[in-house]
Structure 1
Amino acid sequence: MRDLQKKIQKRIYLLAIMLVLPFIAIVYKLVILQWVEGPELKAKVEEQIIKYHTIPPIRGNIYSADRKLLATSVPTFDVYFDPIAVSRDIWSNELDALAAKLAQFSKTKGEWTRILSAGRQSGNRYIKLLENLTFSELQQIKQFPIFRHGKFKGGLIVEQKAHRRMPMGTIAERTIGYSSANRGQTGLEGACDIWLKGKEGKRWMQRMAKGHWKPINNGWDEDPVNGYDVVSTLDSRIQDILHHELLQTLINFEADHGTAVVMEVKTGKIKAMVNLGRTEGGYYAERLNYAIWESSEPGSTFKLLTAMILLEDKKADTNTLIDIGNGSWVFYDRIVTESNFSEKGSLESSGQITLAKAFEQSSNVAFARLVFEHYKDQPSAFVDKLYKMGLHKSVNFEIKGETAPMIPHPEDKTQWSGITLPWMAFGYQTSFTPLQLLTVYNAIANDGVMVRPYIVEEIRNSKRVIKRFGTTVLNSSVCSRQTLEKLKVLLANVVRQGTAKHLYNPAVPLAGKTGTAKLDYWKEKNSRKYRASFAGYFPADQPQYSIIVVVDRPNPDKAYYGSKVAAPVAARSASAIMGLTPASMPVDSRPAERILALSKSKKDPHELEDHVRKQVMPNLVGLTMAQAVALMENKGFKVSSTGSGPVNWQYPPQGSQLSRSVLIELKSFNP
């Protein structure tokens, strides 16, 4: 009996174990699923069915200083439909009317009825209806039958996208730049990306048929924060003037590329920056920012620095005589020659000339001999002056890509040789970007105060200023007052009676220095590649703006001297820019008789219309304001007018290339 009980107990224990072990295994598996494998499996399921989608913010706008829109994000909308969300009553009563409304955009009423009905029958909760709609079109659609009941009862699903646009077209395209995952970051878009980009939002999305994703309105969405606006220092009118002047010169001289920059003297604000390069199709476009990236030997524009050092160290004065012989000087196994000795109207003298005349006529021999004579035993004394001014440092411009200057030093034997010093004197062996060199010329115009060029003025959130930028002084005095006054006279005389005398305009006097640098001279003995340049400021007596123009590889059979290729761009631009400010054209400077004569002038209307048809700005001065406005507005241009008498001032200037993105401004100064 006892043995039987033991057998029964064993069987009970065995049965209990057989029942408990699977239970333990199940519990163990549940624990593993819940705490170990669970989170990973859950994430995979949610990723396949439900997941967070980011909602891109609206990128901030970029404006010019005169509040013209340079870059903006234009919102477009894609519209989807969830027919299952619509009640039976609404569906039966309003489907026919909705199909008729949608037919206004595409397809027919019958096609829309079939598409919507088929979607409801199949359970498709994410039917794509229309894409790339404007905001006004979206507002119209929201009032359509069924949709007007709201997103929950009406089933309307809206997804927003944004496209970046430049309202001014290709003007300042490289300076404005871009910021994208595929293309990287350039220009203002890249420099100000931290403010422009905003903050992404989040939205729960559910996976639907055919790989589509539908938003889930569960209240857990996180709205995006739109980006701030950037106000640049650029003036759209000055940018337009400089762009078309440089473009026309590149075309005329069949150059490879060129750049031009205008800076406000007192502040360092960049008012215009143009960069144009030849494309494969033979056109010119803004491809690279040569103004801040391309560092090169400046040529004769460097002679300003040479003259400054000679005057500061009292090694020479403006009346110091230098023997230039017949325009060449043998130095070791090299020959320094006058690049423009044979150019008519340029270097007119031989033998002994003064430092002032050497500067006006851009004598290579004079500057090479003077510098070698006074610094050959102590070249560091010359070079250290450049370092002391801070010219060996970058200006730290906001836009990325600035190339650092290169100034060889005698202590660095890898950069220094026997010819380095005299060759530096007339603009070789060193390297600067156009913007860096402009900063030096601007300092002379600014009474010796060197300021950092900058292009971002404000960061704004709607009308509220978030951050404001201002002038930064790099060097409070690049030279003594005595030297400064002499340099100003030298620069003014280059245009008044020197290499650029053919451009002298007493109404807008220009001061500056021409430059002609030979390229690839170290590897091509008879190289015919040149870089023409001009750097200076205007008006010469009361400087408001500094300017640099660099034209690379013009056709040498046409012209290649800085005085013939680059300087005219600066002169024409200066005249047009000064004409933009009403204060520069006071009523007093135009007697009443002159204004009345203009109003009575005869202009051929067919000739004016022909200019406009060819996208060329005509001369509207002399027309009545009503006539001028009617002519331009009838051709589709936007016009801003001031005054009601005869037109006395216009922008863009006569002969400029017209664009419908540019506002035409007309002014009448009534007598």
Structure 2
Amino acid sequence: MTQRAAEQWYRDLPLSAPRGNIYASGGELLAGNVKAYDVYARPNAVTEKARAAETLSDALGMSLAAAEEKLSERRSEVTLARRVSPEVAESIDGAGLAGIYCVATYKRSYPYGSTLSKVIGFTNVDGDGQNGLEGYYDRYLSGTDGYLYAEADIAGRETDGDTRYVPAVAGCDLELTIDADIQSYAESAVMAAHAEWQAKSCSAIVTDVRTGGIKALASYPSYDLNDVPRNDIELLNLLSKNTLITDVYEPGSTFKIFTTAAALEAGVVGENSRFYCGGSRTVDGTRVRCWRTAGHGSQDLAEGVKNSCNCVFMDLALSLGTSRFYEAIEAFGFGSKTNVDFFGESAGIVMKKENVKNVDLARIGFGQAIAVTPLQLITAVGAAVNGGTLYEPYFLSEVRSAEGDVVYEHAPKAVGRPITEQTSAKLRELLVGVVEEGGGSRAAVDGIKIGGKTGTAQKYENGAIASGKYVSSFVGFAPADDPKYAVLFIVDEPSGYTYYGSLTAAPYAGRIFSRIADGENWRRADAEDKVYITMPDVVGTDQAAAVAELENAGLVVETVGSGKVVSTTPAAGEHVAVGDVVLARCEDST
């Protein structure tokens, strides 16, 4: 029998294979299927074209003219609609129209809506993965459709002849490393931060520092996976892009973690080392400022880390030299992809070693002149605090067949050892000091020891500094004595004058840690009673005098601008805890 004859005498009905489900680590369904129907017509078999066109127009929301045109096509079969609801299919079937039929299939469903939208991704109308994990693991999730071949007459009407059945094969299920509870904490935090700071975006990543498993990844604004804006490609690309993996930024002071680690590992700094900050360093004839233009004076390493003094980290980078510093940078994974199981990962931007001048090296030391992805940064932090092992980050934990058999199981993959356990332990101690006594104090959680580092970096546009645009961040780990989780929280372009990571990002990272501690029943040490004072009134005071007064009161001071203080956060007269970070905004009256 010729192919054309076969098409005339046999009607094949597709039997859709269910796509595999995607689950969180606790079994929560993140992506699944709901029953749907595809609607077809065999124009030669439609005997009541006028009534059929009217019924289809009403049920499918298409114009009467469009329905009539479809039913007039000179093809053996035409597709009228894809993935309609059971209610729509029932209304069409109930009309009893010859030549019109609805075939059962599946439509992708996402029970949590916008949660993990930039991680899970979405499918097209045919059920094929387009991006995110839906696309990356399409080979596992896709099933194999089956068919029912039924004998038909030349008009396409089924007869009582032979039928042949080829069953559909369901796709495999995925279990992710994502913890649904931790994800919910991260989602709540990024939405709250976005509302408070009116930022361009807010994001958070939580990783298991002992394995590299990604426990949460949240970004806001996001979009509902059940209502993908397919008709606005520009908007869809903006909302669906997972910038925590694909895009780079200057890490700012969070990168000081790795400068410290490299210096400790190389032995170029010790507990008794002293540094002096007069507000700047001149390197290769270029004056490079500390964030505190009045300077920090004489400091040891612990004080330099707590103060986040740029001059200290310039000294450390220059003491290491290009060769040793670059060895450490590369050992922590910067300049290379992490090989996370996701499309579009960036390797970051690291200046070629042969092009690096001393002034470049100095700037890299405090987190400028280098660009990283947020995932690179938190992955490297895991290695810095877990004892020195760099793990490859990953989303996929396990693949199971529809029958429940394990097809693939991921094992944590160690890919390097940039520092020793001894260096890691010392680094943890220094970073705990940042949270307990330094700029990270707003990430503190009663009874839980947390270590971390804040970061505030200016943004660039067209190769120049973008005035008033910052990326503010905090990265931390807990429990600090035996780290389990790392949290990176980023506020991109917070509005107003309060843009320091210590004020914008650290509190929300602390909120995530606190909820994790409660959710996992971490034992909390007896919290020390906080000492509260009244915020001193320093408005109208010269910057240096104001900073001295606030520091003498036991507060950690961040400043914006220079000259006289025009406002503080918190405001004068409010209650504030000793050790808290406060902001003094200054303006030059001349």
> What's the TM-score, normalizing by structure 2?
0.72
Q: Which amino acid aligns with 2:366?
A: F
The match for 1:450 among 347, 368, 390 is 390
Between the aligned partners of 2:290 and 2:173, the Cα distance in structure 1 is 51
- CA separation of 1:207/1:510 partners in 2, compared to 1, >3 Å: closer, same or farther? farther
Contact 2:199 2:494 in 1 (8 A): yes
Q: Quote the residue 2:434 is aligned against.
A: 494
1:420 aligns with 2:365: no
Q: What code does the residue aligned with 1:467 have?
A: Y
Residues 155 and 338 (structure 1 numbering): CA distance in 2 closer, same or farther, change over 3 Å?
same
SS at match of 1:571: helix
* Secondary structure of the corresponding residue to residue 431 of structure 2: helix
The counterpart of 2:134, out of the listed 189, 192, 196, is 189
State yes or no: 1:67 paired with 2:27: yes
Match for residue 123 of structure 2 among 175, 179, 183: 179
Tell me which of 305, 309, 322 is aligned to 1:379: 322
Distance 1:190-1:65 versus aligned 2 partners, 3 A rule: same
Deviation (angstroms), 1:466: 2.0
- Cα offsets for 1:392-434 (capped at 9, x unmatched): 32111111111113322322x3xx3452211110111222111
Matched, 1:43 2:6: no
Task: Confirm or deny: 8 A CA contact 1:247 1:276 kept in the other structure.
Answer: yes
Cα gap change, 1:214 to 1:174, in 2 (>3 Å): farther
- 1:265 Cα deviation from its structure 2 partner: 2.2
Q: Which one of the candidate residues 352, 360, 366 is aligned to 2:306?
A: 360
Aligned-partner SS, 1:252: helix
Q: Secondary structure at the match of 2:382?
A: helix
The Cα offsets for residues 148-187 of structure 1, whole Å up to 9 and x where unpaired, read as xxxxxx9996511211111011111111112337996222
Whether 2:517 is the aligned partner of 1:578: answer yes
Kindly indicate whether residue 418 of structure 2 is the aligned counterpart of residue 473 of structure 1. Answer: no
Who is 1:339 aligned against? Answer: 291
Residue of structure 2 in register with 1:435 after alignment: 375
- 1:563-613 C-alpha deviation (Å, 9 max, x unpaired): 1111111100100111112x4369x99xxxxxxxxxxxxxxxxxxxxxxxx
Q: Indicate the residue corresponding to 2:282 in structure 1.
A: 330
- 2:498 corresponds in structure 1 to 559
Measured in 1, the distance between the counterparts of 2:156 and 2:131 equals 34
Kindly state the Cα deviation for residue 206 of structure 1 after the two structures are TM-superposed.
7.9
Which structure 2 residues correspond to residues 219-368 of structure 1 after superposition, within 5 A? 219-277=163-221, 286-325=239-278, 327-332=279-284, 334-339=286-291, 350-368=296-314
SS of residue in 2 equivalent to 1:573: helix
| Alpha carbons 2:174, 2:400 under 8 Å: kept | yes
2:163 alignment partner, SS class: coil
Deviation (angstroms), 1:489: 0.7
Read off the aligned partner of 1:232 and give its amino acid letter.
L
What is the match of residue 520 of structure 1? 460
CA shift at 1:362, angstroms? 0.9
SS at structure 2 position matched to 1:512: strand
| Equivalent-residue separation in structure 2 for 1:214 and 1:434 (angstroms) | 59
Distance in 2 between residues matched to 1:355 and 1:133, nearest whole Å? 65
Distance in 2, matches of 1:389 and 1:71, equals 34
Q: Distance in 1 between matches of 2:395 and 2:77?
A: 50
CA 466–409 in structure 1, closer or farther in 2 if over 3 Å, else same: same
* Contact 2:328-2:418 within 8 A present in 1 as well: no
Alpha-carbon distance between aligned partners in 2 of 1:215 and 1:453, rounded to the nearest angstrom: 57
CA spacing shift, 1:163–1:331, aligned 2, 3 Å: same
What amino acid does structure 1 have at the position aligned with 2:17?
P
Question: Is 1:167 aligned with 2:111?
Answer: yes
The C-alpha deviation readout for 1:74-103, integer Å capped at 9, x for no partner, is 112468999xx9xxxxxxxxxxxxxxxxxx
Asked whether the 8 Å contact 1:172–1:286 carries over to 2, the reply is no
**In the aligned structure 2, how far is the partner of 1:215 from the partner of 1:511?**
74
Describe the SS at the equivalent of 1:263. Answer: strand
**8 A Cα contact 1:204 1:215, kept in partner:** no
Q: CA deviation at 1:55?
A: 3.7
Q: 1:25 corresponds to which residue?
A: none
Q: 1:532 to 1:74 in 2, by over 3 A?
A: same
Q: Show structure 1 runs of 4+ deviating over 4 A.
A: 44-54, 78-82, 130-135, 154-158, 181-184, 205-209, 211-217, 278-282
Equivalent pair of 1:205/1:213 in contact (CA under 8 Å): no
Which residue of structure 1 lines up, in the alignment, with residue 570 of structure 2? Answer: none
- Greater share of residues in strand: 2
Which residue number in structure 2 is paired with residue 110 of structure 1?
Answer: none
TM-score (normalised: structure 1):
0.64
- C-alpha distance 214-252 of structure 1, shift in aligned 2 (>3 A): farther
Q: 1:516 and 1:213 mapped to 2: Cα distance? A: 70
Q: CA deviation at 1:208?
A: 9.3
Which residue of 417, 422, 426 corresponds with 1:482? 422
Residue 540 (structure 1) shift: 1.5
Distance change (3 Å), C-alpha of 1:206 and 1:407: farther
Decide whether aligned partners of structure 1 residues 319 and 225 sit closer, same or farther in structure 2, where only a CA change above 3 A counts.
same
Structure 2 stretches lacking a partner, 5+ long: 46-57, 60-75, 224-231, 527-590
Write the letter of the residue equivalent to 1:458. E
CA contact (8 A) 1:443 1:449 kept: yes
**Partners in 2 of 1:163 and 1:533 — Cα distance?**
39
Whether the aligned pair in 2 keeps the contact of 1:512 and 1:536 (CA below 8 Å) is: yes
**Separation of aligned partners in 2, 1:73 and 1:313:** 55
User: How many residues are paired up?
Assistant: 488
User: Using a 3 Å threshold, how does the CA distance of structure 1 residues 341 and 74 change in structure 2: closer, same or farther?
Assistant: farther
Structure (1 or 2) with the greater helix fraction: 1
Deviation at 1:517, TM superposition (A): 0.8
1:399 aligns with 2:342: yes
List per-residue Cα deviations over 1:335-363 (Å, max 9, x = no partner): 32233558xxxxxx622211211111111
* C-alpha separation in 1, matches of 2:474 and 2:285: 31
SS for the counterpart of 2:164 is coil
Pairing 1:370–2:316 present: yes
- The residue type paired with residue 250 of structure 1 is H
The share of aligned pairs that are identical, in percent, is 29
Task: Go from structure 1 to structure 2 and tell me whether the alpha carbon gap of 1:217 and 1:422 turns closer, same or farther (over 3 Å shift).
Answer: farther
Inter-partner Cα distance in structure 2 for 1:404 and 1:314: 29
Amino acid at match of 1:447: G
2:40 & 2:442 partners in 1: Cα distance?
67
Verify the 8 A CA contact 1:253 1:558 in the aligned structure 2. no
Q: Which has the larger radius of gyration?
A: 1
Distance in 1 separating the partners of 2:120 and 2:83: 28
Matches within 5 A, 1:96-111: none
Alignment of 1:118-157 (within 5 A): 132=84, 134=86
Structure 1's 318 and 261: CA in aligned 2 closer, same or farther, altered over 3 A?
same
Match of 1:579, SS state, is helix
